[in-house]
């Protein structure tokens, strides 16, 4: 029985799988909310089907409703994007600003009005008092505004979100979006006071006479600072409602991205989930490969991949990993069929040494592998992808240690896909892992690959062949062949 509901992909796995590039390929979001939420979705693996099935229903309901998709995209384009700042992170930092009363601003405005009134009683004194109060108000205005101006855009974007919610409510969204519509309706009601008068905190950009006049009114009467204080208070009192509004808008735009992904994809399927530590995938392929070679895999045991350099081992690992992530986030797999359990997905593949942390490649690698062990528990199985285990050390210790690491992982609550050049591991681990391989053939001096997964372990090596194919001196390649023999 699955106790947890979600698992977050860590940065190592995200980078190993080039998920930033995958995200960019899928990103059809027109707003910052949609972009942020889509990335959050891809990083958050669902460990139960309920959220996924609802996400699928929303995307599917858009299938025959192009006009609705266009209308929704128009709303999100109107919402727009923030500049290099996450709205969600920034808006909740607003409480770090010291809460101030509007009393100071009100007193300053009253004194200013009193100076104006004094002009009609004692003109000379009144004019001097007015000049002094204008100067004081402007000085204090810029002092206060310098403390809060960075949060103006976040509050304005929150208002834009409320406006977007109001527009979406006027559209005829299908039944799968009904709960979203209720959430948007509640948000529009809650944030109505925040929306009223929000134009006061909008900086002038056109340079028109009216805009210039409004700038002076803000400086002298502090109307934008007073409105900011009331908006800040409203935002602080309704953090939960802000999060709900953000998630609801993000979920709607993510549904659009899933719909467009499916529409633009030649071959895809919905995953089927089972309560076993297994993967049964037919004709799967990688989303970033323009002319992919499809492969199939059916296994309930860990996999050890061997094969030539550049033959497709790493790409295959990434293909399985990304499709498992798609299954548990977008309910969409790039395959003819996909059946699997729910997994926590981790990888240890494209590591580099940590110069700032003064850690060698090998130290980074063993820490990466250790975190896989630390994630394993009895509730949800781990699906781990490991490329060239312990490549950062000598051959003898690498084979000895990596065989024990892979053996231990394979006998835990985990399914392992590992790639290696160490053919010795295929014999050492034949009772613990299934052997598959990729291979190549030489034609007219060229090394050619078919990128097709084959059962069993590799029987050929091609490093020296590749040196020949790329024109290295025969003295090097012939001597290398002789030494290898």
Residue pLDDT, tens place only, 71-92: 999 999 999 988 777 888 888 8
Residues 195 and 151 in one domain: yes
Alpha helices in 346-473 (DSSP H): 361-375, 395-410, 424-428, 463-469
Structural domains counted in the chain: 2
CB atoms inside a 10 Å sphere around CB 399: 18
Query: Has residue 159 been placed in a domain?
Result: yes
Which band of pLDDT confidence, cut at 50, 70 and 90, is reported for residue 343? very high
Helix then strand then coil, % of the chain, to nearest 5: 55, 15, 30
State the Cα–Cα distance between residues 318 and 16, nearest whole angstrom: 8
Query: Has residue 17 been placed in a domain?
Result: no
Mean pLDDT for the stretch of residues 220-226: 90
Contact (CB, 8 A) for 326 and 334: yes
Residues 346 and 235 in one domain: no
pLDDT at 327: 98
First CA to last CA distance, the chain: 53
Tokens 């029987």 correspond to 459
Residues 252 and 301 in one domain: no
Mean pLDDT for the stretch of residues 30-52: 96
Residues 88 and 207 in one domain: yes
Residues 427 and 472 in one domain: yes
Average pLDDT, the chain: 89
Instruction: Quote the pTM value.
Output: 0.87
Query: Has residue 138 been placed in a domain?
Result: yes
State the Cα–Cα distance between residues 235 and 82, nearest whole angstrom: 18
Residues 252 and 297 in one domain: no
Residues in the chain: 485
Residue pLDDT, tens place only, 163-211: 999 999 999 999 999 999 999 999 999 999 888 877 777 765 556 787 7
pLDDT at 389: 85
Residues 316 and 167 in one domain: no
State the Cα–Cα distance between residues 292 and 452, nearest whole angstrom: 11
State the Cα–Cα distance between residues 152 and 91, nearest whole angstrom: 10
CB atoms inside a 10 Å sphere around CB 433: 24
pLDDT at 205: 53
Residues 258 and 277 in one domain: no
Question: What CATH number does residue 356 fall under?
Answer: 3.40.50.300
Residues 343 and 449 in one domain: yes
Query: Has residue 26 been placed in a domain?
Result: no
Query: Has residue 292 been placed in a domain?
Result: yes
Query: Has residue 11 been placed in a domain?
Result: no
Q: Which domain holds residue 190?
A: 31-264
Contact (CB, 8 A) for 183 and 244: yes
Query: Residue 84, class by beta-carbon neighbours within 10 Å (0-12 exposed, 13-18 middle, 19+ buried)?
Result: exposed
Using the predicted structure, report yes or no on whether residue 302 has a pLDDT greater than 50.
yes
Query: Has residue 403 been placed in a domain?
Result: yes
Residue pLDDT, tens place only, 95-133: 778 878 899 999 999 999 999 999 999 999 999 999 999
Residues 70 and 95 in one domain: yes
Contact (CB, 8 A) for 386 and 350: no
Using the predicted structure, report yes or no on whether residue 3 has a pLDDT greater than 60.
no
Residues 283 and 390 in one domain: yes
Domain-ending residue, one of 237, 264, 291:
264
Greatest C-alpha distance within the chain: 110
Query: Has residue 2 been placed in a domain?
Result: no
State the Cα–Cα distance between residues 383 and 475, nearest whole angstrom: 45
Domain-ending residue, one of 247, 264, 281:
264
82: tokens are: 């923030």
Residue pLDDT, tens place only, 389-448: 887 778 888 899 999 999 999 999 999 999 998 888 999 999 999 999 998 776 666 667
Which band of pLDDT confidence, cut at 50, 70 and 90, is reported for residue 1? very low
235: tokens are: 């935002």
Question: Which residues contact residue 148 at a Cβ distance below 8 angstroms, ignoring those fewer than 6 apart?
Answer: 97, 225, 228, 232
Residues 236 and 291 in one domain: no
Domain-ending residue, one of 236, 264, 292:
264
């Amino acid at each position: 029985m699955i106790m947890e509901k979600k698992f977050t992909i860590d940065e190592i796995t995200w980078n190993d799988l080039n998920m930033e590039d995958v995200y960019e390929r899928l990103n059809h979001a027109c707003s910052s909310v949609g972009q942020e939420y889509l990335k959050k979705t891809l990083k958050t693996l669902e460990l139960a089907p309920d959220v996924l099935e609802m996400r699928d229903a929303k995307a599917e309901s858009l299938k025959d409703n192009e006009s609705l998709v266009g209308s929704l995209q128009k709303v999100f384009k109107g919402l727009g994007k923030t500049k290099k700042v996450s709205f969600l992170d920034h808006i909740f930092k607003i409480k770090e600003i010291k809460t101030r009363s509007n009393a100071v601003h009100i007193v300053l405005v009253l004194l200013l009005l009193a100076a104006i009134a004094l002009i009609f009683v004692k003109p000379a004194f009144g004019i001097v008092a007015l000049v002094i109060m204008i100067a004081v108000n402007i000085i204090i205005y810029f002092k206060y505004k310098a403390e809060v101006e960075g949060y103006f855009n976040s509050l304005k974007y929150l208002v834009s979100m409320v406006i977007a919610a109001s527009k979406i409510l006027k559209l005829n969204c299908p039944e799968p979006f009904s709960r979203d519509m209720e959430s948007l309706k509640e948000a529009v009601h809650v944030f109505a006071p925040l929306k009223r008068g929000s134009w006061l905190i909008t900086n002038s950009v056109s340079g028109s006479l009216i805009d210039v006049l409004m700038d002076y009114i803000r400086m002298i009467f502090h109307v934008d600072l007073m409105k900011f204080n009331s908006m800040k208070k409203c935002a602080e009192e309704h953090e939960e409602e802000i999060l709900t509004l953000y998630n609801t808008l993000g979920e709607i735009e993510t549904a659009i991205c899933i719909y467009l992904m499916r529409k633009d994809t030649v071959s895809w399927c919905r995953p089927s989930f089972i309560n076993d530590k297994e993967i049964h995938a037919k004709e799967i392929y990688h989303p970033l490969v323009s002319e992919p070679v499809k492969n199939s895999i059916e296994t309930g045991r860990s996999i050890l991949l061997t094969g030539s350099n550049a033959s497709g081992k790493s790409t295959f690992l990434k293909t399985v990993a990304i499709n498992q992530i798609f299954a548990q986030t977008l309910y969409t797999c790039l395959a003819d069929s996909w059946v699997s359990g729910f997994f926590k997905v981790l990888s240890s593949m494209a590591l580099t040494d940590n110069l700032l942390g003064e850690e060698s490649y090998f130290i980074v690698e063993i820490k990466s592998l250790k975190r896989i062990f630390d994630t394993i528990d009895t509730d949800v199985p781990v699906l781990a992808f490991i490329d060239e285990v312990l490549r950062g050390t000598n051959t003898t210790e690498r084979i000895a240690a990596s065989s024990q690491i892979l053996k231990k992982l394979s006998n835990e609550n985990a399914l392992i896909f590992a790639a290696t050049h160490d053919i010795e591991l295929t014999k050492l681990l034949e009772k613990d892992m299934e052997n598959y391989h990729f291979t190549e053939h030489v034609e007219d001096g060229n090394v050619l690959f078919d990128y097709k997964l084959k059962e069993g372990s590799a029987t050929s090596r091609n490093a020296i062949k590749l040196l020949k194919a790329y024109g290295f001196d025969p003295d090097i390649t012939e001597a290398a062949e002789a030494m290898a023999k």
